[in-house]
């Protein structure tokens, strides 16, 4: 029924203006503001869009809302850290000095961080072999 529909995901923030520069400048995504609706569109590689919408009383999700696969996790973490991104640590994960959780029971190597609205994002690299 919806197999041919170009679906998209979305999540809330308190104020779109508070996150626009983070997504555009810090993360380097192509962003578009809809001035009539006060929403932000994140244009991701491969033609995927994500809607970021304002919500009064926004509460950040307690789970990862957006994941970015990368070819070189260490280089990406270093570059984001140089732009002021702080990586989060979670109980139950053995994370190195950069905040990267490696060899997670066969899962990808991953590092989590938050946007200015407190939403959890990640960068990850699939393990070879």
Q: Contact at 8 Å (CB) between 111 and 98?
A: yes
Q: Is the dihedral of CA 14, 26, 108, 6 positive or negative?
A: positive
Token output for 38: 């006060």
Among candidate residues 72, 73, 69, 67, the one with its CA nearest the CA of residue 99: 73
pLDDT in tens, 40-67: 999 999 999 999 999 999 999 999 999 9
What's the mean pLDDT when you consider all of the chain?
94
Q: Which of 44-48, 66-70, 84-88 has the lowest mean pLDDT?
A: 44-48
Q: What is the pTM of this model?
A: 0.92
């Amino acid at each position: 029924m919806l197999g041919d529909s170009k679906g998209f995901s979305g999540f809330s923030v308190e104020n779109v203006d508070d996150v626009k520069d983070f997504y555009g400048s810090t993360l380097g995504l192509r962003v578009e503001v809809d001035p009539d609706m006060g929403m932000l569109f994140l244009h991701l590689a491969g033609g995927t869009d994500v809607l970021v919408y304002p919500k009064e009383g926004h509460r950040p999700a307690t789970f990862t809302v957006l994941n970015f696969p990368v070819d070189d996790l260490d280089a990406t973490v270093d570059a984001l850290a140089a732009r002021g991104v702080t990586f989060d640590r979670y109980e139950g994960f053995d994370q190195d000095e950069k905040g990267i959780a490696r060899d997670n029971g066969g899962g990808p190597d991953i590092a989590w961080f938050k946007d200015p609205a407190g939403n959890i994002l990640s960068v990850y690299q699939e393990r070879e072999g």
